[in-house]
Amino acid sequence: MKGTFNVVGGQVLQVVVGEMGSEPVQGNEANGAGGGGGGTFVWTEGQLQPMIVAGGGGGSSLQNNGLPHYQGKPGVTTEDATGSRSDDEYNDSPGGQNGEDGQSVSGSGGRGWSSVLDDPSGVPACQNYGGDGGFGGGGGGGCMPNLCNHLHTAGGGGGYSGGGAGGTCYYHGGGGGGSYNTGSSQDNAAGVKSGNGQVEFTW
How many structural domains comprise the chain? 1
The pLDDT of residue 142 is 78
Say if 14 falls within a structural domain. no
What pLDDT, on the 0 to 100 scale, is given for residue 108? 85
pLDDT, position 65: 81
**Neighbouring C-beta atoms of residue 193, cutoff 10 Å:** 18
Distance, CA of 139 to CA of 168 (rounded, Å):
17
Residue 74, domain member (yes or no): yes
What local confidence, expressed as pLDDT, does residue 177 receive? 98
* 133 within a domain of the structure (yes/no): yes
In order of 4, 72, 141, 186, the CA distances from 68 in angstroms are 36, 9, 18, 31
pLDDT value of residue 60: 92
- Predicted confidence at residue 24, as pLDDT, reads 84
CA angle 134, 139, 144 (to 5 degrees): 140
Is 141 inside any structural domain? yes
Kindly report the pTM of this predicted structure.
0.94
Q: Is residue 167 part of a domain?
A: yes
Reported as a single tens digit per residue, the pLDDT across 40-68 is 999 999 999 999 999 999 999 888 888 99
C-alpha closest to that of 82 among 107, 65, 53, 57 = 57
Q: Which domain holds residue 103?
A: 57-182
- pLDDT less than 70: residues of the chain: 29, 106-107, 144-150, 168-169
Does residue 24 lie in a domain region? no
Q: Is residue 162 part of a domain?
A: yes
Residue 151 located in a structural domain: yes
